[in-house]
Structure 1
Amino acid sequence: MDPDVVSPETLTEVTLDLYVWAEAFLTSLLRPWNAYQLLIALGVFLTAHLLSAIIKPRMHEWMRGLEGWPKWRMRALVVFHRRLRMALFVVLIWLVVFVMREITWPSRSYLLAIIANLATAWLLIAFATRLIKNTLMRGIVRYGAWIWVTLSITGLSDEAQALLDSAAFSIGDMRVSIWLVIQAIVIVATLLTLARIISSTTAASIRRNEDISPSMQVLAIKFLQVALFGTAFFLGLRIVGVDLTGLAVLSGAIGVGLGFGLQKVVSNLVSGIIILLDKSIKPGDVISLGDTFGWINSLGARYVSVVTRDGKEYLIPNEDLITGQVVNWSHSNEFVRLDIYFGTAYSDDPHKVREIAINAAKSVDRVLSFKPPVCHIVGFGDSSVDYILRFWIRDPTGGLTNIRGNVYLALWDAFHENGISIPFPQREVKLLEGSELATKSLPD
């Protein structure tokens, strides 16, 4: 068959071969022993169904009582629980095949052996494709593999391949057929799944390495993912014979599009790489950007996720963190100094006020004792002596407003216990000599 020319005669010949095989197979089922084997297979299936109905509830109760098992082992157990009937059928059908091969002629268990091989292959494919997270891709690979295994076991793989390869069209010098597309989907999906498994395993090892800073961990994981998935995609296309030289033109078109329409996207991507390289921010840092105050939850390729104290999650573009003014409360160390202002009456001794304020701040749990608070006079106001109280904390992720409020409350209690008054503005109204104060009575 000429791979570049699809003739109607070739298509008709392949279709006729499939029809002849199907007719012969259906005719063979009318033979007594083949019919008996089908009935035996049906009986084995019903037995597996009944056993599954009995075992599944007990197995489910046992699984609910398991504690401390690794997550991957529990997932495997859940998948096995869902496929319990098929697993029982495979075990029982192979037992029947082995017994019949011992007590009768091999030809009388030939059809049962085909059914056993098909059931085993389907079960293994169902387990293997659970590694593919994408639902659509998993379904395509699973059903495609089931069909191909069925054709291979029944001896129809060559005819099916010829039929699928005959339906093709050409794009320049490249010939694209249904068979090529199916191969590409299966191989690329398999390689991408392997890349995901390797990426997840390696990423977990990188995160456990305490010698690597959090920002470098994110950078290493991102580069690893891009390298693995890119290699898997292009390697899969090369395996099926796709010519990749044509991608040079596509890359040029993408470059033009990036230059005109995707400037912001590229800017955010480059800014994200710069952030990871200069280690200016990292997951867990507490930052302030404008009115947004919170801690960094994750670093993405296009944005940074910042979670505030009220549970809101802000997705801040990387470019804003590069070009804007960012306050990183935990960049070089985790210590943060906070200032609060207050005033007392002129009649209160300022030396005593400073001592009381420092002791009140020390009594708050989150205030650090080895970096003791200090209190200074900052001015003489219209109605009060003004002070500033400075103290240090080491957990800005716990919030700043709440610790300020606790210190203010400690000051309030300490001043009340020691007779220190907190003044407020008061106004005196004087009547000039010769003026009269007019009063107006309200109506009844």
Structure 2
Amino acid sequence: MEEFETLNTLAETGQSIWADALRYLQMVIEPGWRQNQILIVLGMIVLAYALRKLFEGPLDNWSRNRTGWEKWQLRQLVHVRKNLGLICYAVLAWVVYGLMQQLTWPSRSYLIGVVATLVTVWVVIGFTTRLIRNPSLRRLVAWFLWIYGTLLALGLVDETEELLDELAFSIGSVRLSVLTVIKAVVIITLMLTVARLATQRAGASLSRNENISPSMRVLGTKAVQLLAYGIVFLVAIRSLGFDLTGLAVVSGAIGVGIGFGLQKVVSNLISGLIILLDKSIKPGDVISLGDTFGWIDSLGARYVSVVTRDGKEYLIPNEDLITSQVVNWSHTNKFVRLDIFFGVSYGDDPHKVRKVAVEASETVARVLTHPNRPVCHMVGFGDSSVDYILRFWITDPSGGLTNIKGQVLLALWDAFKENDISFPFPQREVRLLDGSTVEMNARTGAIPEPDEQERGS
């Protein structure tokens, strides 16, 4: 019975729309002011084309001289260039409509007003949909808005809404009609666009704020994204007519099941939040974790991107950074001290060695001379050399540690050669005990037999 009533309602709505279409067709066929308005509308098409040709050249010359414009402004300018004829037609239609409203009866310019409204709606839709980057989504939204704008200009919105509302189905206690789905899609699309623009603006503003630490900038951006898209999700559910109370119960049960299966994922998410809050690691820091040495490129929800000197990018789970020992070379400041051990012969003056070593290290560009100068200390008397340690400071550990040590060692080599300071070779003293076979053969000059050599060895 309900299906029969629905079919009758659809039939009645379809007959109403068909009657309106026949009425508009009759308006065009019958002579009079209605037909004159149609001719004026067609004549404005020719005039708009002429205006497009007139303004096209100056607009192109003006566009080429635009410098320093942002990408979205250039995209809008290109859109103006492509739709110049439609824009001219909209302006011309409103001018003609305003003049006819003043010079004659309002009914004699009704169709011109409808056409002016319709073309203006198309122009506005064309500009607003340019904010949607996804081409498929932009095309879908544009079609929806064009159809709605056309129906609005022709006064067929109520009849169309009744027709679409009758095309419905039920899911439990929730009734979904085609009209409800279309409204939900339009609302969600608009809110997604607004949310994306808001998160981009917020992220750009936070990234330019020097008073906020890098980790808090990332945390603020993530919080804005979570808030914006969370609101979009809730609005989408409500626009479709679903009860959020039942959704909360279902999501709680699903969350428990997912929690047991995705413990590592949840652990990494929470660890990432802790890292952002305690500011122990932030983008740009130089860290060492096991055999991995590099600088933080970005902080993600699940992992941290670490780029090494050889160009490799390691995606380290956030949990490892919380539970493992991490060396942050630039946590509180970027000053890093490096040590180099070397030895020289006993015949060299230690005072001179220390002075030459300090001066040689200061010739390397990355070695700091202020506020901490390099220092050299004697640390011990070795078997073959006097041992020293050279300590110096740098502020750019991201530039590498091995290469700076190599440069300092090379500077020491050149400076010691110029000042006649030698690097001794290891020396060993061999003593021959009384009564040994090797000692007796050495005294007599006799060469032992092979078996004697083996026994002596």
Find out whether 1:387 has 2:388 as its counterpart: yes
Deviations 1:224-281 (A, max 9, x none): 3212221233135435643222312430343134223322221111111111122111
Distance 2:425 2:22 in 1: 103
Equivalence for 1:242 = 242
Equivalence for 2:453 = none
After superposition, where does 1:48-197 map in structure 2 within 5 Å?
48-51=51-54, 53-63=56-66, 66-67=67-68, 69=69, 73-74=73-74, 76-102=76-102, 106-197=106-197
SS of equivalent to 2:244? coil
Q: Is the 8 A contact 1:188 1:237 kept in 2?
A: no
TM-score (norm 1): 0.85
SS of equivalent to 2:29? coil
Deviations 1:125-170 (A, max 9, x none): 2222333344443333322122111111111111211121111111
Distance 2:383 2:85 in 1: 86
Q: Please report how far the alpha carbon of residue 392 of structure 1 lies from its aligned counterpart in structure 2 after TM superposition.
A: 0.8
C-alpha change, 1:144 and 1:253, in structure 2 (3 Å) is farther
Distance 1:138 1:237 in 2: 22
SS of equivalent to 2:367? coil
Distance 1:6 1:177 in 2: 16
Q: Is the 8 A contact 2:79 2:127 kept in 1?
A: yes
| Counterpart amino acid of residue 24 in structure 1 | R
Distance 2:106 2:425 in 1: 105
| Counterpart amino acid of residue 279 in structure 1 | K
Q: Is the 8 A contact 2:38 2:111 kept in 1?
A: no
Distance 1:52 1:425 in 2: 89
| Counterpart amino acid of residue 49 in structure 2 | L
C-alpha change, 1:397 and 1:54, in structure 2 (3 Å) is same
Q: Is the 8 A contact 1:354 1:375 kept in 2?
A: yes
Distance 1:5 1:358 in 2: 99
Q: Is the 8 A contact 2:216 2:279 kept in 1?
A: yes
Find out whether 1:40 has 2:39 as its counterpart: no
C-alpha change, 1:356 and 1:86, in structure 2 (3 Å) is farther
Q: Where in structure 2 are there 5+ consecutive unaligned residues?
A: 431-437, 450-457
C-alpha change, 1:87 and 1:423, in structure 2 (3 Å) is farther
After superposition, where does 1:19-418 map in structure 2 within 5 Å?
19-31=18-30, 32-51=35-54, 53-63=56-66, 66-67=67-68, 69=69, 73-74=73-74, 76-102=76-102, 106-239=106-239, 241-369=241-369, 370-379=371-380, 383-418=384-419
C-alpha change, 1:82 and 1:43, in structure 2 (3 Å) is closer
C-alpha change, 1:267 and 1:202, in structure 2 (3 Å) is same
Distance 1:425 1:85 in 2: 90
Q: What is the RMSD of the two structures over their aligned residues, measured on CA atoms?
A: 3.2
Distance 2:315 2:24 in 1: 62
Number of equivalent positions: 432
Q: Please report how far the alpha carbon of residue 359 of structure 1 lies from its aligned counterpart in structure 2 after TM superposition.
A: 1.1
Q: Is the 8 A contact 2:286 2:398 kept in 1?
A: yes
Distance 2:137 2:250 in 1: 25
Q: Is the 8 A contact 2:176 2:240 kept in 1?
A: no
SS of equivalent to 1:245? helix
C-alpha change, 1:137 and 1:45, in structure 2 (3 Å) is same
Distance 2:385 2:90 in 1: 89
C-alpha change, 1:424 and 1:52, in structure 2 (3 Å) is farther
Q: Please report how far the alpha carbon of residue 97 of structure 1 lies from its aligned counterpart in structure 2 after TM superposition.
A: 3.0
After superposition, where does 1:414-429 map in structure 2 within 5 Å?
414-423=415-424
| Counterpart amino acid of residue 398 in structure 1 | G
SS of equivalent to 1:88? helix
SS of equivalent to 1:283? coil
| Counterpart amino acid of residue 142 in structure 2 | R
Deviations 1:170-197 (A, max 9, x none): 1110001111111111112222333333
Distance 2:48 2:79 in 1: 20
Distance 2:448 2:51 in 1: 110
Q: Where in structure 1 are there 5+ consecutive unaligned residues?
A: 437-444
Q: Please report how far the alpha carbon of residue 383 of structure 1 lies from its aligned counterpart in structure 2 after TM superposition.
A: 5.0
Q: Is the 8 A contact 1:37 1:111 kept in 2?
A: no
C-alpha change, 1:341 and 1:88, in structure 2 (3 Å) is farther
Q: Please report how far the alpha carbon of residue 378 of structure 1 lies from its aligned counterpart in structure 2 after TM superposition.
A: 4.3
Deviations 1:382-411 (A, max 9, x none): 654443221111222333233223222322
Distance 1:372 1:145 in 2: 70
Q: Is the 8 A contact 1:199 1:224 kept in 2?
A: yes
SS of equivalent to 1:147? helix
Q: Is the 8 A contact 1:336 1:392 kept in 2?
A: yes
C-alpha change, 1:57 and 1:325, in structure 2 (3 Å) is same
Q: Is the 8 A contact 1:52 1:85 kept in 2?
A: no
- Percent identity between matched residues is 56
The higher radius of gyration belongs to: 2
Distance 2:392 2:101 in 1: 86
SS of equivalent to 1:246? helix
Q: Is the 8 A contact 2:286 2:295 kept in 1?
A: yes
Q: Is the 8 A contact 1:86 1:119 kept in 2?
A: yes
Q: Is the 8 A contact 1:48 1:86 kept in 2?
A: no
